[in-house]
Chains A and B, each alone.
Chain A
Amino acid sequence: MRILDQIVALFRALFRSGRVDADLADEMRFHVERETEANIARGMSPTAARRAARLTFGSIDEAQELSRDDRPGAAIRQMVRDVNFGARLLRKSPVFGITAIAIITLGVGAATAIFSVVYGVMLRPLPFHDPSRLVTVWLTRASGRLFPSAADAAELRQLRGVFTDVALVRSSNINLSLVGDGEPQRLQSARVSPNLFSVLGVSPALGRTFTSDEDQRGRERVVLLSDALWRSRFGADHEVIGRQIRLDGMTYTVIGVMPPEFQYPTTGLDAWIPAVLEPGELSRVTLNNYRLVARLDPRVTVDQARREAAALAKRLGSSYQWNAGAGFTVDSMLDDAVRSVRPALNLLLGAVSFLLLIACVNLSNLFGARATARSGEFAVRLALGATRPRLIAQAIAEAAPILVIGGAFAVVVAWWAVHAFVAGAPAGLPRVETISLSAPVMVYSLALLAVTGLAASVVPAVQAWRSDFTTVTKDRSRSSTSGRGRSVARRIGVAAQIAFALPLLVGASLLIQSAIEVGRVRLGFNSDRVATLSFEVSRTKHESDQAAAEYYAQLVTAVRAVPGVMNAAIVNRIPLVGAQTNAVRFENATGASEREVLIDSRTVTPEYFATLGIPLIAGRTFTDHDDGSSPEVAVIDERLARATWPGEPVVGKRFRGPPSGGWVTIIGVVGHVRTAGVEVDPQPQVYWTTRQWVQNRATLAVRGDLESRALFPAVVKAIRSVDRDQSVFDARSMQEIVDRSLAQRRLTTTLMVGFGGIALLLAAVGIYGVVAYGVTQRLREFGIRVALGATRREVTRLVVWQGTSMAIAGSAIGLVLTIAAAGAMRNLVYGVAPRDVASILGATMLLMLVASVASFIPARRAAAVDPAVTLRAE
């Protein structure tokens, strides 16, 4: 009960202090009156009695004050008073307040926004059971990472005590059409091994997941729905379990609905179906690509798993040709998911941290200047009996209103920035859906605010501690160069801002140059007036390869007949969107096949090269006569041709490879295309014709009058005239595809340029503030100098030098920082070195220029002093 009593007392003291004070005053008044009466009883006159009573009691105010200090919550009340005082100061000098709030808003807001992205994408645990134990496994070769095969997965599963289980996911999105009433809907789905859900440790929201025998032919017609599809197409009906739906012409039974947060392997999937292994997959006769996800055995670390997998790769390499020279990489699932964005996010986090440091130093200088201006006040209060800890507490509490307002604005700015970011997130940024101002982000933000608060109050606090009546009053009367120690601290602060600003400016410059270089890249195709439309051919309807190829040809013919269409073609994957890798062996001079070469393979209809504007360099392209009954032929790109047969005619050469594994004759050479990405120099390219190698995935490329709004509906109508159940998706212009592949770079560049600009602005304001303040302090000195014969030019030079000397010192440190941090840029620059001398020099010059301008303005004021006025001023 004691604690409760104390809480009640604290509450009373804090919130009912008026009542407590009144009670005490009443009591004390009674005391004096009673004493007066006693005095009268002793024979004094009433006036004398009252006087004597008052005298013995002493000051009622003092007694009240004493008992108030002794009451609970005294410290809290004191703080409230200091904070109130801080708020009054803020109202009194709004420019100071607005500047400080703006600095906090920019610094903390930007840092919070970037951290929320970093946290959401890179740090937040994956939404699976014990996600730190989940790993992905890839097959690696010198040329890059490849998807392993089902046979590899089976071997990995056999490793004793390394993985508890290994699950397979068919990496390419298999697109099923949900056919029924109305418009055929294309579903994005994944084929997965039945154990996927136990490996990830997720349960369905409704129904069940796959049983272990549902990957057997005959039992595989079962489907799990996504929450989104269940809601949009089935009205969130709980009776959906057990219902038969038709997918791609076949009947499936709905067995479960996954919870909304289950988005694997990619976001926006509609359905999961069992992956049925084709006969021959486990014996490596047929190779299919799978994404592998495995759960580590509890006793095994990732490193141990890596070693075991590497040893396995070596064993497999000696037994199977495809695995020769290949290794396995085992990575934590989260690391693997964010691999592509890690360098950019790390860079942005580093940049925003520098920006925050600049903001802190700036804030510290700002508050320091104010404290200096109030040093007299501090000294007087100290002389009147205030304790030093009391003054320090006040210095911290006074900064509180500015911090609270700045912090609130920072959260608003961060909230807005995060929403804008998520809405316009570059395509391919993983885990965008988890980006938000979550609790850990808010904790981080509060910590940042505490750091800025510390920065704001440390100088005033130190000053209060050192405050001493005699020096302050002496300082004032001797109005020459005051507070040397303090002005040095401020100048170091400015130099630090320059030092942190330099790497940001260099980074921005490097990214701008990279963006220009990337803009100059020749893609190898003409994106102008080309649009694309994807679809998936139904192999139940067009069962034989020949029928499917014929269907493609019909589609192309129908689309080419549409008014406004100049040309049209079908390709399995359009450049910059996806790639397929295969191995081929080129015939060498002796007729034997040489070692395997990994190539980027595409299957196209004959009009493909013309439609995308890929130039034919030698030989011919495909015709309709290159079909199943004629010899297998291929077209290769010029770079591959030059590398394989330098100086020799290529047409007529042969290689062994898909689709049958037999000899394929090269009939033509075409231009090199950037297929995997604008910035990635891709693998060598080989093209096949759809009539000899048909694939279910298809993208229609159309060259035509894209300005016309009627074009797309007409194209879709033409497709439906061939097959009215054909669903289409992803209608985009080729330019849009190019833009999308550059979106991440563009965003990183924009943010870096923004951070660099803010850093430059803050540094300029910082230099201006310190130099201007110095000029005010030294006006008398300048007056004397001018009176003694210094020219205005000399005074100007003196002041400008004060500013630029800070900039030079800061730049020197900044150069060291820049060179040390250049490694962070290595993966982000294109066509420019991470330690590009021109960028570093340019950024340094820019900072110097800004420093000169920022100190020239106060210098003019110093040069304009009239000795007659300044010397008489005090």
Chain B
Amino acid sequence: MTKPTDLVQGTLDLLIMRTIASEKLHGWAIAQRIQVLSKDVLQVNQGSLYPALQRLERQGWITADWGVSETNRRARFYRLTAAGRRRLEQERADWDRLSAAISLVMRTA
């Protein structure tokens, strides 16, 4: 098994936005969800998770409020804003195009 890949900046933003697209989650759950969904291939370094969350929040793509976690603790829950949703759609389209192009090159070359 290979080591978990370091996430390129920008890709992390995309993943975070995708993860919270359907429901609001706190930071730990976001990291957890990314790791689980990627079958442990992608591991989010917490040192980059929180700066990324702050950055996204500042750009107005996600928003956060304090709530109660599944373990009955005070936690900060993040969710997408309308602007964030538009941004996600656009990023997802870009990503699809890019990855399709890369795999095309990889397969044929």
Contacts and interface: CB of A to CB of B under 8 A. Distances in A.
A interacts with B? yes
Interface of A: 2, 5-6, 9, 23-24, 26-28, 30-31, 33-35, 37-38, 56-59, 62-63, 66-67, 70-72
* A35, A38, A63, A72 pick with most chain B CB within 10 angstroms: A63
Given A6-B58, A9-B58, A70-B54, A31 B45 contact: no
A30 B26 contact: yes
A23 B60 contact: no
A34 B28 contact: yes
B69 to A, nearest CB: 7
A56 B54 contact: no
B47 A66 contact: yes
A63 B58 contact: no
B69 A30 contact: yes
* B26, B54, B69 pick with most chain A CB within 10 angstroms: B54
* A24, A26, A27, A58 pick with most chain B CB within 10 angstroms: A27
Given A26-B74, A27-B75, A56-B46, A71 B54 contact: yes
Contacts of A67: 50-51, 54
Given A27-B76, A34-B28, A62 B50 contact: no
Contact of B71 (A23, A37, A57): A37
Contact of B50 (A5, A9, A28, A34): A28
A63 B50 contact: yes
A35 B28 contact: yes
A34 B73 CA distance: 9
B65 to A, nearest CB: 11
B27 to A, nearest CB: 5
Nearest to A35: B28
A782 to B, nearest CB: 56
B47 A30 contact: no
B47 A24 contact: no
Given A2-B60, A5-B60, A67-B51, A31 B74 contact: no
Interface string B60-84: 1000000001010111100000000
B46 A63 contact: yes
Contact of A31 (B46, B58, B60): B46
B58 A34 contact: no
B28 A63 contact: no
Contacts of A58: 45-47
Given A28-B27, A30-B76, 16 more contacts: A2-B60, A9-B58, A26-B74, A27-B75, A30-B26, A30-B28, A30-B69, A31-B28, A33-B73, A34-B69, A37-B71, A66-B47, A66-B51, A67-B50, A67-B54, A70-B51
A57 B27 contact: no
B27 A31 contact: yes
Interface in B68-109: 69, 71, 73-76
Contacts of A71: 54, 58
A59 B28 CA distance: 16
Interface of B: 26-29, 31-32, 45-48, 50-51, 54-55, 58, 60, 69, 71, 73-76
Dominant secondary structure of chain B at its interface with chain A: helix
Given A30-B69, A31-B28, A66-B51, A23 B76 contact: yes
Closest 10 CB pairs of A and B: A34-B28, A67-B51, A63-B47, A31-B28, A57-B46, A70-B51, A27-B76, A30-B75, A66-B51, A67-B50
A57 B73 CA distance: 19
Contacts of B60: 2, 5
Contacts of A5: 58, 60
Contacts of A57: 46-47
A56 B43 CA distance: 10
Contacts of B71: 34, 37
13 contacts: A24-B50, A28-B50, A30-B69, A31-B31, A34-B26, A34-B28, A34-B29, A58-B45, A59-B47, A66-B47, A66-B48, A67-B51, A70-B55
Nearest to A13: B58
A71 to B, nearest CB: 7
B75 to A, nearest CB: 5
Contacts of B47: 57-59, 62-63, 66
Contacts of A34: 26, 28-29, 69, 71, 73, 75
A817 B65 CA distance: 70
B76 to A, nearest CB: 5
Contacts of B28: 30-31, 34-35
A222 B54 CA distance: 78
B73 A30 contact: yes
Contacts of B32: 38
Contacts of A28: 27, 46, 50
A9 B31 CA distance: 25
A23 B76 CA distance: 9
B29 to A, nearest CB: 8
B11 to A, nearest CB: 17
A16 to B, nearest CB: 14
A34 B47 CA distance: 16
Contacts of B29: 34
B97 to A, nearest CB: 27
Contact of B74 (A6, A30, A37): A30
A33 B73 CA distance: 10
A37 B29 CA distance: 13
A24 B55 CA distance: 13
Contacts of A30: 26-28, 69, 73-76
Contacts of A31: 26-28, 31, 46
A254 B46 CA distance: 87
B55 to A, nearest CB: 6
Contacts of A9: 58
Nearest to A57: B46
Nearest to A37: B71
B54 to A, nearest CB: 5
A34 to B, nearest CB: 4
Nearest to A5: B60
A13 B71 CA distance: 30
A467 to B, nearest CB: 30
A440 B104 CA distance: 66
A67 B27 CA distance: 14
B71 to A, nearest CB: 6
Given A27-B76, A31-B28, A72 B58 contact: yes
Contacts of B26: 27, 30-31, 34
A24 B66 CA distance: 12
A72 B29 CA distance: 26
A30 B54 CA distance: 16
B43 to A, nearest CB: 9
B15 to A, nearest CB: 17
B44 to A, nearest CB: 10
A35 B74 CA distance: 15
B30 to A, nearest CB: 10
A9 B55 CA distance: 11
A31 to B, nearest CB: 5
Contacts of A63: 46-47, 50-51
Contacts of A27: 26-27, 50, 75-76
A180 B69 CA distance: 95
Contacts of A2: 60
B40 to A, nearest CB: 13
Nearest to B31: A31
* A2, A9, A31 pick with most chain B CB within 10 angstroms: A31
A199 to B, nearest CB: 61
A23 B32 CA distance: 21
A28 B74 CA distance: 11
Contacts of B75: 27, 30, 34
Nearest to B71: A37
B9 to A, nearest CB: 11
A7 to B, nearest CB: 12
A786 B71 CA distance: 81
Contacts of A6: 58
Nearest to A67: B51
A604 B54 CA distance: 93
A37 B50 CA distance: 20
